[in-house]
Amino acid sequence: MKAVVVYYSRFGHTAKVAEMLAQELGAEVRRIEETKPRGFMSMGWGAITNARFGIKPMDLDLHDCDTVVLCAPIWASRPVCPARTFLRDARLEGRQVNVLVTCGGGDYRRGPGEERRGHRRHRQGRHRHG
């Protein structure tokens, strides 16, 4: 059995998670790269409108690979456009595909008494992954 971890990361958080996961699984790791760098507004708007951002060809041979883990951030509540392009174009039939997303996280507050502590936790855990 061979596994490969494929990831997209704009700011490095998903890259760290993907690298750690690949090490844990003993898997190869490949990065999805956009053909054209985008600004913040374009990234968000692309996600909202389901745009398919172009990605560079990858050195990825799946013929003896049975598990693919795709790691991708969330933009505007959706998996990022370059990861969706990968899912559209890659020949993944017959393989187990797992998806791991990273996001900015939500509100950690559980009750009025925890508001302050929860806020501090939120600031520290801004890039909680899971």
Residues that bind ligand FMN (CB under 6 A): 9-15, 40, 43-44, 73-77, 102-105, 127
In angstroms, give the least distance from the CB of 80 to ligand FMN.
8
In angstroms, give the least distance from the CB of 94 to ligand FMN.
28
In angstroms, give the least distance from the CB of 13 to ligand FMN.
3
Closer by beta carbon to ligand FMN, 76 or else 96: 76
As a whole number of angstroms, the distance between CA 69 and CA 81 comes to 17
Closer by beta carbon to ligand FMN, 62 or else 105: 105
As a whole number of angstroms, the distance between CA 59 and CA 57 comes to 7
Q: What are phi and psi of 75, to 5 degrees?
A: -120, 130
Q: Where are the beta strands (DSSP E) in 1-130?
A: 3-7, 28-31, 67-75, 78-79, 96-102
As a whole number of angstroms, the distance between CA 33 and CA 94 comes to 25
Closer by beta carbon to ligand FMN, 76 or else 97: 76
Closer by beta carbon to ligand FMN, 40 or else 50: 40
